[in-house]
Structure 1
Amino acid sequence: MKLVRYGAKGKEKPGLIDKEGKLRDLSGVVSDITTEQLSSAALAKLAKIKTSTLPLVKGKPRYGVPLANVGKFLAIGLNYSDHAAEAGMPCPKEPIIFFKADTSLSGPNDKVMLPKGSKKSDWEVELAFVIGKKARYVSKKDALKYVAGYCLVNDISEREYQLERGGTWDKGKGCDTFGPVGPWLVTTDEIKDPQKLDMWLDVNG
């Protein structure tokens, strides 16, 4: 399934994209796409819905972040070896972990606001793993059992703030609007191997 949230900011409604690529309204089934809708049982229930019975959404509404009430926006730095090489930095032995503020979350086509004095704002396409249930001390072999689906993320950074001013990466990573997500959350049944996805990002064409 491709789950979405659409509509004006702060007033998004739940929806899904059917097999013909059309947007269907899910608000008669669930009130929103929240963590409660990402359990295996809840997703299985949604998967049984005959999508042709759901109302079609007319026009081209705005897409919001496809998941409401995100608890943690956790990121891994230098997670691609080619990006580390491009940045002239060694691949880390331990993961570089940083948080992006929840105010950085925005819809996939929303405008990005650069911070005052920005000189080195940058962008990176990333694959988000959406955790569908509480996970603590999970073994590597069981990790993907906790994933409900995947989203695209544009990890926007202000490199001067992040790398040249000392301290943590957060100040260059967590600015408002610096985390566009979506347009949809794709459930794991549609992606057999997330390591074999091609991703790209264009800026202004």
Structure 2
Amino acid sequence: MNTNRSLPRRAALAATAVAAGLVLAACGSDNTTNTAGAAPATTTAPAPPEADRHNQADVTFAQGMIPHHRQAVLMSDMAAAHGTSPDVKALAEEIKKAQAPEIETMSGWLNAWGEKVPTGVSMDGMGHGDGSGMPGMMDDQDMDRLGNARGNAFDTMFLTMMIEHHEGAIAMAKTEKQQGSSGPAKALADDIITSQTAEITHMRTMLRTG
């Protein structure tokens, strides 16, 4: 008799113990999550975008290469109007298609960096005057002579001047690769060296073969 009476009582006690355990577990979970004394989670600040990591050499490269490219585009436009050789005109069009987008890219960098974007074919008071302080840049007299030339004389003058122009751009790009810190700017410098070196070789061949 005593054994039979104790069974319901034991069952009730077991159920009470389980319920109490669940309540304690829930409280323990709340305390773990909301403990006032817990150390705050540490966060690492995101790294700045690659284009934002730059130095003065990157700024100088972009501010110099923009007007340098603009002059090459102007010379290429002259080839379409004054040149005779289809090969010269085709080369001029390739130069324009390559360099015009690069001008936009470098202008975007300077805007993002809070730096001045040159206007026209000069550095606008940045120490380069009419652009003759940059390697390979034609001065006003050179551009006038090219603009006044026609036919085969233009083609020869265009190729000769563009070789010098490209050599100047390559020199500027090599300086950027050595001194710059912006990954995109150094990558563009590398592209300029590769593409314009190949174009110089092509233009020299065109001059030799007439």
Structure 1 length-normalised TM: 0.23
Larger Cα-atom Rg: 2
